Amino acid sequence: MTYDVGALRAEIPALQSGVAHFDGPGGTQTPARVAAAIADALTGPLSIRGRLTPGEVNAENLVQGFRRAVADLVGGDPSGVVFGRSATQLTYDVARTLAKDWSPGDEVVVSRLDHDANIRPWIQAAERAGARVRWADFDPQTGELPPSAVGDLLTDRTRLVAVTAASNLLGTVPDVAGIARLVHRHPGALLHVDGVHYAAHAFVDQPGLGADLFVCSPYKFLGPHHGVLTASPELLERLRPDKLLPSADTVPERFELGTLPYESLAGTIAAIDVLAGLAGLAGDGPGGRRDRLRTAFAAIERHEGALRERLEAGLAGLPGVTQRSRATERTPTLLLTFDGRTSADASVFLAARGVHAPAGSFYAVEASRHLGLGDTGGLRVGLSPYNDENDVDRLLEGLEAFLRS
Ligand SMILES: Cc1ncc(COP(=O)(O)O)c(C=O)c1O
């Protein structure tokens, strides 16, 4: 299996500037093919989706192609793919919809490991319904969130469990399938999984994870800025979101408010095709796109894993750096703090050397506080499929210089 990082880098115009990007967890740099697909969609004939004119047919094909591409990415049904402006918006919408059926005394479980986008919408929806919120805590020493931390909170009144598939602050990958098995012992409970950070690094198997609802955001995996929610069409059929009277009541259209941004859908199809192509197989090679994505993500994991080892070996030799990412299963995203120096200073120092690694708590404010880092967080170093050994070496040299400065 080949993984040609040079070929991928050559496809990404922003990397030609020479900057070493460790800011992928905030949003990846975009391949030219993705930008071209967006431009082609906009400059071809394009109308509201329909079946009569070329513009209508182009829009319809983009909608259907988008749903097939996302279903291939997560292992779901194309009819269960809901477009949204962001994961945050989709989670707010689905929380409001589900909460219509919650009563006082019902319970919702959220985790302190999560980005606020998978906490606050549930808390606010629970408050309006009079439901009780229960918190699952991770171990601040290890960063682990074991299934029992969630399982111990479940009761027959649990209506919803919200948990991340990977922490965007620490990289921790909880055992979501194990959590799902516990949740589904309670027939009234649904599991909502935040896959925004996870889907950038791992082959997603939504049915295997046992996620009833799953959100991810293509701008974290080489695509344009929007979000996607996926669920079984049967579950979506049972839900009644607020919608306009004349708008389609079919699934998934019922959940997609207003006209879709067809050009963004085109960009996401292209991003998923770029990912599938990373396996080193030809576009129409053996197996369908889902099979190629499985192979590609295995290659991405090996590539990012090798870079992570190089990075961690280098960090171990830098006195005064504390690495906070310690879970056994985690993405190649490291949170660092520095003795006597702020992570914001480190970020500014590195940026001046063309090494981009941001500092903060990245909206995972509950996690940051639970780690004892307040709202300040740390320096987040995130590896993406386009990083190479040279990037890692420049980061390590930059950190060494920062510590000497
Ligand atoms: C783990 C995680 N969840 C949710 C979000 C929010 O995603 P969006 O910007 O699509 O609302 C982010 C964004 O950084 C994230 O990293």
pLDDT at 286: 59
Question: Kindly report the CA angle at 111 between 108 and 113, in degrees rounded to 5?
Answer: 165
CA dist 288 to 31, 278, 292, Å?
A: 22, 14, 6
Q: Where do the domains of the chain lie, and which CATH numbers do they carry?
A: 5-30+291-404 (3.90.1150.10), 35-274 (3.40.640.10)
DSSP annotation of 131 reads P
Q: Answer whether 217 contacts ligand 1 (Cβ < 6 A).
A: yes
> CB of 247 within 8 A of CB of 231?
no
- What is the Å distance from ligand 1's center to 113 Cα? 13
Among 82, 85, 115, name the best residue to mutate to test ligand 1's pocket (greatest count of ligand atoms within 8 A of Cβ): 115
3-state secondary structure of 71: helix
359: enclosing H helix or E strand: strand 359-360
Q: Answer whether 196 contacts ligand 1 (Cβ < 6 A).
A: yes
Q: Answer whether 387 contacts ligand 1 (Cβ < 6 A).
A: no
Quote the CA–CA distance of 78 and 157 in Å, as a whole number.
32
DSSP β-bridge partners for residue 359? 379
Q: Tens-of-pLDDT digits for all 405 residues of the chain? A: 578 999 999 999 999 999 999 999 999 999 999 999 999 999 999 999 999 999 999 999 999 999 999 999 999 999 999 999 999 999 999 999 999 999 999 999 999 999 999 999 999 999 999 999 999 999 999 999 999 999 999 999 999 999 999 999 999 999 999 999 999 999 999 999 999 999 999 999 999 999 999 999 999 999 999 999 999 999 999 999 999 999 999 999 999 999 999 999 999 999 999 999 998 754 445 579 999 999 999 999 999 999 999 999 999 999 999 999 999 999 999 999 999 999 999 999 999 999 999 999 999 999 999 999 999 999 999 999 999 999 999 999 999 999 999
Residues 6+ apart with CB under 8 A from 62: 41, 49, 262, 265, 266, 269
- What is the Å distance from ligand 1's center to 286 Cα? 34
Strands lying side by side in the sheet with 227-231: 81-84, 227-231, 213-216, 190-194, 158-164, 107-111, 132-136
- Chain length of the chain: 405
